[in-house]
Amino acid sequence: MGQIKAVRGTRDLLPPETELWNHIEATARRVFARYAFGEIRTPIFEDTQLFARGVGEETDIVSKEMYTWEDRARAQSEKAQMLTLRPENTAGVVRAYIEHKLGDAGLLQKLYYIGPQFRRERPQKGRYRQFYQIGAEVIGPPSAGSESPLRDAEILEMLATLLEALSITGWTLELNSVGSATDRPRYIQALREALVDLAPTLCVDCQRRAVTNPLRVLDCKVPEDQAKIDELPKIADFLDEDSRAHFAQVCAALDACGVAYTVSPRLVRGLDYYTRTTFEFTHGGLGAQNALLGGGRYDGLSEAIGGPKAPGIGFAMGTDRLVLTLQAQQVALGESSAALLADAYIAPLGEAQQAESLVLARELRRAGLRVELGDGTFRLKKSFEMGNKLARRIVLFGEQEAVSGMVTVKDFQTGEQTKVPRGELAKMLGAQ
């Protein structure tokens, strides 16, 4: 029978690498808590319409990358529902905000999430079909200050702090404003006009995008197209007074707290819901998939999916890419590393000692020690070999030890062997 493997674009995360994942997630939780964010967990699958209306029908994500299926109808009269594995989490968070009337208290909601997302993309280094995001959203009624440029700057400053807490260095913050819902149509019209002549000279993808979604032409990565695309009209020239002033205030607040950024006129991002501020943090060490995280403002998203006016701003960072970056930087995790040896390996010296050796292991683990438990059918030689690979010390637990109440401990590093009363073992092994 053929071997069954993980599906293309998905992978198993194994120890010790999972220690790094836990470290990243724990650091994010700690930083988010300091900025008074609370955790939200939304379902892994949602009504397909949420993404069609929220993210946008014309986006790559919705038009070709979603895992969508028809749910079985419960009754014949019932229409089968179309469901989709979430390709991103912002739409789900905003749906929950609307569904639970979270804006009714008149306060800002500051929510973060950590979890898997799914997109049928062409897998490569740093790009998977099941990938993981850590993200946060600030959303609320305008009366709570949800449109304030201070919110944008605060989020960006939080991200700089989080990357610093993770010891990730060498990142670049690219910033832009894509304008309000009224600026964008004027810009898109100008793009369309400029593309009439230019598009036939660009790559086939751009030729298609020029018709379906001209903004996406700005994302083109084909080297020969770059100089020509740089000549296209710039969104900055189409911003109205409000958008311009908003962006200037975001920049001023970032300058005030020393968060470095570059303004990238072509940064329009792949999701249709963005308005005004958009941003991306990139990292040179990542290769082709160099975006560590991306985000922006989405002042009209709530209304697009049937909710009240609830402007918001958020970001999603790719945990997979944070892991790759940290691995490349070889950041030492110190004590929390799973590669760390156990404090002790307990070797029951016969089958009669098996049950009691589990009791001993339980005592030590309850005292806070990291303990590996052997097997009573092993010979002494094998126990020593195994113990040496897994732990700093071996605790021999045979018939004699069971009767005398003394156990024999050998330290693999010093070679020293001692007999210790069982009651003092935990302390001797370093329990606090």
Binding residues for ligand AMP, per CB under 6 A? 88, 119, 121, 126-128, 131, 133, 270, 291-294, 316-318, 320-321
Q: Which is nearer to ligand AMP, 127 or 244 (CB)?
A: 127
Q: Is the peptide bond before 185 cis (omega within 30 degrees of 0)?
A: no
Measured from the CB atom, is 169 or 189 closer to ligand AMP? 169
For the CB of residue 81, give the shortest distance to ligand AMP in the complex, in Å. Answer: 24
Taking the least distance from each CB to ligand AMP, the nearer of 157 and 219 is 219
Residue 139, beta-bridge partner list: 109, 312
What one-character-per-residue DSSP string does 238-291 give?
G--HHHHHHHHHHHHHHHHTT---EE-TT---S-TT-EEEEEEEEEGGGTTS-E
Cα angle, residue 121 at apex, residues 115 and 127 outer, rounded to 5° = 60
Of 114, 109, 112, 113, nearest in space to 97 by CA: 109
Residue whose Cβ sits closest to ligand AMP:
318
Using the minimum distance from each CB to ligand AMP, give the nearer residue, 73 or 328.
Answer: 328
Rg (CA), the chain: 28
Nearer to ligand AMP, 286 or 360 (CB): 286
| Min separation Cβ 150 and ligand AMP, Å | 23
Contact between 199 and 206 (Cβ < 8 Å) = yes
Q: In what order do the strands lie in the sheet with 171-177?
A: 38-39, 109-118, 130-139, 312-318, 291-297, 275-283, 171-177, 262-263
CB-CB contact of 371 with 322 (8 Å): no
Whichever of 291 and 428 has its CB closer to ligand AMP, that residue is 291
Minimum CB separation of residue 167 from ligand AMP in Å reads 18
Q: Identify which of residues 304 and 341 has a Cβ nearer to ligand AMP in the complex.
A: 304
Sign of CA dihedral 172, 119, 131, 327: negative
CA–CA distance from 58 to each of 61, 94, 210, 391 (Å)? 8, 20, 12, 56
- Output the smallest distance, CB 7 to ligand AMP, in A: 14
Q: Is 313 helix (H, G, I), strand (E, B) or coil?
A: strand
| Residue 130: CB minimum distance to ligand AMP, A | 8
The token duo for 235 is 């969104």
Minimum Å gap between C-beta 132 and ligand AMP is 8
Nearer to ligand AMP, 79 or 122 (CB): 122
Cβ–Cβ under 8 Å, residues 130 and 324: no
Shortest Cβ 225–ligand AMP spacing (Å): 21
Q: How far apart are CA 209 and CA 238, in angstroms?
A: 20
In the complex, minimum distance from the CB of residue 316 to ligand AMP, in angstroms, rounded to a whole number: 4
- Report in angstroms how near the CB of residue 37 gets to ligand AMP at its nearest: 18
- Crossing angle of the two packed helices 241-256 and 149-165, in degrees rounded to 10: 40
Q: End-to-end distance of the chain based on CA atoms, in angstroms?
A: 52
- Closer Cβ to ligand AMP, 180 or 290, answer by number: 290
**DSSP code per residue over 29-76:** HHHHHHTT-EE----SEEEHHHHIIIIITTSHIIIII--EEEPPPSST
Complex with ligand AMP: residue 305 or 346, whichever CB lies closer: 305
Q: Per DSSP, what are the bridge partners of residue 109? A: 139
Please give the structure tokens belonging to residue 193. 């006009």
Distance in Å, CB of 183 to ligand AMP, minimum: 21
Residue with smaller CB distance to ligand AMP, 131 or 187: 131
Question: Encoding tokens for residue 368?
Answer: 């806070």
CB of 373 to ligand AMP, least distance (A): 38
